[in-house]
Amino acid sequence: MGHSHAHPRDHEPDPEVLPLGKAEEPFYVRVRGTDGNRSQAGYLGAAIDPKGPQLDVVGDADPWADLWFYTNPIWILPKK
């Protein structure tokens, strides 16, 4: 009797693709994400970073109500 099981990846969102162009020099990128509960314009302004992390209110901060993550650098190393 065969059972049909969905593969775990069948329900994951499609990956994001960020074209970085031709790398002529080494550089790195970092990925930042949030649950979307609290945000404000980032350090470089709304035109560049409209959904940056919102500053916590002193005495009223709940890290689980405002979940953010940052990756370590992801290095792009061109072949020479």
Q: Could you report the per-residue pLDDT of 36-56, keeping only the tens digit for each?
A: 788 888 888 899 888 888 877
Please provide residue 73's backbone torsions phi and psi, each rounded to the nearest 5 degrees.
Answer: -60, 140
Give 12-41 pLDDT, tens digit per residue.
777 778 888 888 999 999 888 887 788 888
Amino acid of residue 69: F
Q: Whose CA is closest to 78, among 37, 39, 21?
A: 21
Residues 6+ apart with CB under 8 A from 51: 34, 36, 39, 42
Length of the chain: 80
Residues 6+ apart with CB under 8 A from 20: 29, 76
